[in-house]
Each structure stands twice: as C-alpha cells, then as structure tokens.
Amino acid sequence: MEQMLTRCSLPVRDITLSNDGEWIAVASDELEVKVVSTQDMEKVMHLREQSRPVKHVSFDTSGTMLAVSCTDGMVYLYSLSSEQPQLVKRIDGLIKTLETDSEASAKVSWHPDGRAFAVPTSTRDLQIVARSDWQRQKAFSGGHRADISASAWSHNGALLATSGVDKSLGLWETRSQRLIKTFDDVQYPILAIGWHPTDNVLSYTNNNGELFIREDFVPQEHAKHLNIALQPAPMNNDPLSEVSGNARKQMPNGHKPGEVRRSTEDDYLDDLLGPDAMSEDGAGFIEDDDGAGYAEEPNRFGKRPAGALESRPAKRQAPVSQWQPEIHESFQPGSTPWRGNRRYLCLNLTGFVWTVNQETHHTITVEFYDRQEHRDFHFTDPFKYDKACLNRKGSLFSCPPSNYTNNRSMLYYRPHETWTARTDWRTPLPSGEEVTSMSLSDSCIVVTTSAGYVRIYSLFGVPLKVYRQKSTPAVTCASWRDYVMTVGNGPVGGEGITRLLYTIENVKRDEVHQSEDILALPEGVELRSVFWSENGDPCIYDTDGVLLILLHWRTPGQAQWVPLLDTKTLERLQSGKKEENYWPVAVAGNKFHCIILKGGEEYPYFPRPLLSDFDFRIPVSDPPSANEEDDDRDAAQQKTLESQLVLASVNHSLQQDLVENTNATSAQKSELPVLEREVDKALLQLLAAECREGEERGMKALEIATLMRDRSGKMLEAAGKIAQRFQRGVLDSKIREVAERRMVGLVDEDDV
C-alpha cells in the first residue's frame, strides 16, 4: 500500500475507479459520496443530494458522469465536468429500495458506447436507460427468478453477464436481449463480475469471500461476439443497431513489407520523361545478355546507379543550409490539445464540448451553462471529430479524412431546436482538403481549408461562398452574425517569422471592411485566440496575456487594435507569489471572461474549472502598489483616472461606430449619450484632481475642460463649479469663455 486516499467513519459499501484512473468514488453508510483524486488526496468532491446512504456508485466511460444508486430507491446522476459537481437527473421508480448490506444489486452498468446504462429493477429484469433523455429503452427479462446481484458488459458491449442471489449466472446477447447460456455450477451467490479486456475470461467474487477466474466463459459457438467491433447499446428505434458490425475496415497501403517508400522528388524524372526514358516502369525490356554491365541491378530506390562524372576539380565549398521562414500554425479557438485520452473541443459562454478517445472511436459530450434553455447531450463519435463550435443555435463539428469518410474531411451541424423531422446535416469537403479552422455564428458557418480556400455555408448546409484566401496558410477564423474574420500568414518579417494578416468582411452584403491588414502582435508574441465580443467587435488574446479589441473596423484603413487588459498587471499578481495564466473565453458585459490556470498550466483540464471575469483596465501606467507613499498614491490615483478616461472613450467609440454603420436598435442608440456622459464624468474627475494640485496646473485643467463632449453646456457648467470650489477664478473664467464660444458655434479646432 503506497498511501491512504480517504477514510470513512462508517462501513464502505462500494468503490469505483474512472477509466483514466484519475478519480475514485467511495460510497459508505454516510450520507455523502466522496470523489477523490488518485493523484492528490486533497482534491475531493462531495456529493450530498441524496437523503439516505448510498449502496452503489458507477463512472461512465468518459469519467465525467457518476451514477449513484441510493437506498431510497432513486438513481442520482452527477456531472463531474466542473469543480463543483452538479446533479443532472434524479430517476425515481427505477431501482428497488434496498439496504446497504443487501446482497441484491442496484448498481448501474454503463454500456461501453456511453449512450446508455443497465440497472437491475424490482421485477428482476435489467433495464436499459438512455443517457440522452433518461428514458427507459429495451430490457433483459426473464433470466432470473430472484433479485439480480451483479452485472457486467463485455469490452465491446456485445455480451452481458448477470448473476442472481439464487446462485444463478447467465450470459446474454446484447443485440437481441436473448439469454444464450446459463451456468448451474455456482455454489455461492455472486456479488461482483468483471470481464477480461481482451480474452474470453470472466472473473467474479461471491459472498463467501472467494475469487473465481473462469476461462472460456463464452461458449465456442458464441465466442465470435468477443472479436467484433464496439456494438451499440440496445435502444428503441436506434439506427446504429441496424448497421452495427458493418464499419469500414482499414485498407492496406499497398506497400510490401520492408519496401522503401519513395518520395515525390524521387519520381520527378519518371513523371517528366515518361515510361520510355529509362524510368522504372519502362526499363523492363533491358537485358544484360552480353555482360557489359549496362543493365545493373536497381538500388533500393528502384534506380540503377550512375557512374562517376568526370569534371575539373572544384574548390571546396562550405555546406549550405536551406533557410525556411517560420510560419504560424493553424489552430481552433477554444480548443485544447490531448491530455491523456481527453481534450476540450470548444469552451465559451454558451457551454463546452469535450471528447474522450476510446481507441476505436470517440465519445463527445456537450454541456450548457443554461440547462433550462438547452439540454446536455452525449453521443458516440465514429468519425473522430477534432474541431467543434457551439452557440445558442447549434453545434458544429469537423473530422479529418479517414477510411470511415471515404478519405474526405466532413462537416457535421446539429441544431439545438427544429420544427422539421431532419435535425442535422453532414457535408464532405472536396478530396484533398482538410479543415484547418472553422467558426459558427447565428447566420453562417465559416471554414478555412488546407487548400487555401474559405468556404461559407448557411446553417442548413447551403454553400454561399468559396474564395481563395490571400494570406496563406490560414491560421484561424471567427464570425459574428454576417461578419467573418479570417487570419493567415503574410509576408516574412525581419526576425524570419511571418506576419499575421487579417480580413473582415460582411458575407451577406459582400462588403470587405478590412483587407489583409496586419495583426498587431509584437516580436516574439503569438496569437492565442480570436473571437468576437458580445457587442460584435473583433478581439484577440496573445501569449503575453494582453486582450485587444479592434476599433473603427467598419471603416477601411481606419482599424486600430486597442489593449483592453494586460493580465500581467492584475492586482492579484502584484505580490509575486502567484503563478497564473489565463485561458480566454469571451468578452461580455464589459468584462474579460476567462479560466484561471495555476501552477504554470497553459490549458484547462478536467474537472472543468470555474469561469472568472476581470474588469477592463487599459495599460496607461503601471498598476498601483500597496506599499506606495501618500504622494505616490495620489499619482497612482491620477493614472487610474486617466485609464478610466481612455476606457470610456473606447467604449463610446465602439458604440458610435455601431450606431453610425448599422441599423441600430433604439436601445443601442440610447446607450450612446450614456457612454458620452461617462467620458465627461471621467474628465470632471481629472479636472478636480488638477485643481486640487494648485494654480500651476491651470492650463492642463483648461485642456481637460475643452475635451468635454457634451454640447448642451451642462458639463462645462459643472467644470466651472469645480474650479470655483477650489477657488480657481482664472480657470473658471476661461471655462466660461469656452462654453460661450460653443453656444454660438465659435469653437476653435485647438479647443476641441
């Protein structure tokens, strides 16, 4: 024994380990269930929704869902995908009310495909329950005359073994729910069953404390069921059950064992000269019948060795290495790399999508933050999707070429709600093209491909537009409503790395707002994510931890990247004791929403961390320090006010661009004067700070007053009152002059 993970004050009734070995769930006579990390015993999740002790616990195939069979006769389903476990479903009337020490079982057995589970019922049947809607499906009936004590699926889900408290043991075929074999040599009731992961071996323990390993458990005439591919769970009206076992097999690559494969360069002359010019295909007629040596045996590359070339001795030349520019690799915003057998495909404010590698297939889970509006779903993924997008209307997936898709990349869109029978659609890409990035908006789907194309589809799969991207290879893309932003590799900079270029267009009006403009990234900094804000403005986040938003992007040639937040200047990091990174999620509600990554982590992992948000703070100066003197604090307060002024000006400019260039709503139009007043309020605070410093700051104070945007004169009147309060008579008179000139329309350009 290496270490103790946890301890319970009352008897332990059941334990289960997740498939990846990261978590262990413990059920005891206590009212709560503990889920403990096997790597760190201090990481413990407590499940307390049940009112009575728990008899059984069971992880699903992905390890993010735990089924709890309680002695109150209910099954509790918990989602463990976040740091705070959430009760997803409480199923009543499914299992029998049992005591914790009863030999009868109510344990949930998840099918290997992850779409359903089986559980013993009070009628001595094994009931299948679908994960998608928690409704009852088919059942294994009539196999036991007493309560079921244990059950287990084979590794591929094709067979099911069950036992009863009457010392019975049975073998079932999953597809037909037929009992194909019973065993009468069991001497004591079996309490737990386990299949060997590859061999025809079944292990079980009984109430006498004995362990049995039974070889050749499946009879020879049925042993073929153990060698087939993963079978679907037995569901009502399930299309997968009609095509199980018909998956395409891997095709041979056509190369002999030990053969050296030739590259494209090796075949260049053959393709150029044809089969009659000493090529490999056209040299079959040559025979060295006179022993002259002109038909030597081909070498390992299929070529005959050439003789030495006679030439004049040349000077010794230094070796030359071919220079290659460094390009930015493509990426999908919101996705993470593989860690173990799972990864996130998408993370945003709508929800999150993750996949689990089951070797022969993947399983994908989609969860939403607002479960009242959308219902979580889970499905088996034979296509092995590697990219995903999620919004309030639907989810989008793409997969690389494979034998399962006829060696073509494919898009799969699944709407959340529909009023027609056909709810989803798939469309393949042309042969040779792969999806490098994609995005999903409320009105269109955008895909960049390895062939340099940008493909735009409607939400119903209608191709709307196809064009060749100017800056290639493509890096990523993002979309919002009808606006599309693509990013690609551009010209090579002085440091040997390509500069990133972006293009923004409106696909509905066929208008280009920004064409091949440079993405503002300093030297040595890479792009981490691209997304649109809640109000519809492009945002980027770089590896330096800086969040930027694009200003004036609707006017060609006028776009500017403005930093909204530098995460290195957050107050929580100023002590130097914390080492944190931030995973960008969204910009909404005038806040930066992200996931805090601690301990030098670069990507979020499971269980899913909670979302955090930070207020914007434009980096005008260094953040204030807690150890500053009084004079330094006054200066820091001054810089804070200046940062607030710049931020208010940016918010006003973004809203003004929206109102002037779109069909803005009345609410958006009414928001503009509110933001204008916020700018003037920040100016008034700066004016008061300058007046407080003394009369020598009068010229700067007057300049601040001239920056007032209000044309009614109320803000300048308030500025005059501030000057009077600090007894700045000269400044007050100057402000009055500015107000009078504005009232009569005589405003100099220098005063604005």
pLDDT digits (tens, 9 = 90+) for 532-570: 999 999 999 999 999 999 999 999 999 999 999 999 999
Q: Is residue 487 part of a domain?
A: yes
Residue 256: inside a domain: no
- Residue 57 above 70 pLDDT? yes
Give 333-356 pLDDT, tens digit per residue. 999 999 888 999 999 999 999 999
- Which residue carries 């735990």 as its tokens? 66
CB 46 within 8 A of CB 66: no
Q: In this structure, are 373 and 460 located in the same domain? A: yes
Among 192, 217, 237, where does a domain finish?
Answer: 237
511-518 and 65-70 beta bridge pairing: unpaired
Whether residue 429 is contained in a domain is answered as yes
What phi, psi does 140 have (nearest 5°)?
Answer: -95, 105
Angle at 210 between CA 208 and CA 216, to 5 degrees: 130
Average the pLDDT over each of 370-384, 587-601, 617-631 and give the range with the smallest value: 617-631
Tell me if 5 is assigned to some domain: no
DSSP 727: T
Which of 217, 237, 257 corresponds to the end of one domain? 237
The per-residue pLDDT for 307 is 52
Residue 277 maps to a domain: no
The helix (run of H) or strand (run of E) holding residue 77 is strand 74-79
Percent of the residues in the chain that have a pLDDT greater than 90, as a whole number? 64
What pLDDT does residue 54 have?
A: 95
Burial of 652 (0-12, 13-18, 19+ CB in 10 A): buried
Residue 529 has pLDDT above 70, yes or no: yes
**Within-domain flag for 326:** no
Q: In this predicted model, what pLDDT tens digit does every residue of 467-495 receive, in sequence order?
A: 999 999 999 999 999 999 999 999 998 78
pLDDT of residue 747: 61
**Dist. CA 655–CA 296, nearest whole Å:** 78
Residue 419: pLDDT band (50, 70, 90) is low
Q: What is the pLDDT of residue 1?
A: 52
| Per-residue CA distances from 637 to 619, 685, 689 (Å) | 14, 11, 9
Alpha-carbon gap, residue 624 to 128, rounded angstroms:
61
- Per-residue model confidence as pLDDT tens digits over 257-277: 444 444 444 444 444 444 444
Q: In the chain, pLDDT over 70 holds for what percent of residues? A: 86
Helices (H) and strands (E) in the chain, counts: 7, 42
Same domain, 470 and 529: yes
Q: According to the model, what pLDDT value does residue 628 have? A: 60
Provide the residue range defining the domain that includes 370. 342-615
List the single range of 48-57, 94-103, 216-225, 690-699 with lowest mean pLDDT.
Answer: 690-699
Question: Alpha helix locations (H) across 137-289?
Answer: 240-243, 268-273
Last residue of a domain, one of 615, 648, 679: 615
Q: How confident is the model at residue 669 (pLDDT cuts 50, 70, 90)?
A: very high
Lowest mean pLDDT among 180-184, 241-245, 392-396, 739-743: 241-245
Regarding whether 669 and 598 lie in a shared domain, the answer is no
- Residue 188 above 90 pLDDT? yes
Q: Are residues 600 and 645 in the same domain?
A: no
pLDDT band with cut points at 50, 70 and 90 for residue 359: confident
Cβ burial, residue 653 (10 Å; 0-12/13-18/19+): middle
Mean of per-residue pLDDT scores for the chain? 86
Q: Is residue 250 part of a domain?
A: no
Same domain, 596 and 661: no
Query: What confidence category does residue 572 fall into, taking pLDDT thresholds of 50, 70 and 90?
Result: confident
Residues 611 and 642 in one domain: no
275 occurs within a structural domain: no
Crossing angle of helices 666-693/630-661, nearest 10°?
160
pLDDT in the model for residue 84: 86
Examine the pLDDT at 513 and tell me if it is beyond 70. yes
Residues 448 and 591 in one domain: yes
Indicate if 538 and 659 belong to the same structural domain.
no
Average pLDDT over residues 113-118: 93
Least confident of 3-12, 340-349, 629-638: 629-638
Neighbour-count burial of 332, counting CB atoms closer than 10 A to its CB (0-12 exposed, 13-18 middle, 19+ buried): buried
Question: pLDDT grade, residue 512 (50/70/90)?
Answer: very high
pLDDT digits (tens, 9 = 90+) for 227-247: 998 899 999 877 665 444 444
Query: Does residue 701 sit in the same domain as residue 552?
Result: no
Whether residue 679 sits in one domain with residue 566:
no
CA contacts within 13 A on the Cβ side of 231 = 23
Mean pLDDT of 110-115: 92
Tell me the CATH number at 398.
2.130.10.10
Same domain for 136 and 216 = yes
Read off the pLDDT of each residue in 13-41 and give the average, rounded to a whole number. Answer: 92
Number of domains in the chain: 3
Sign for the CA dihedral angle at 146, 152, 158, 159 comes to negative
**Two structure tokens written together for 146:** 């007493």
CB atoms within 10 A of CB 529: 22
Same domain, 572 and 679: no
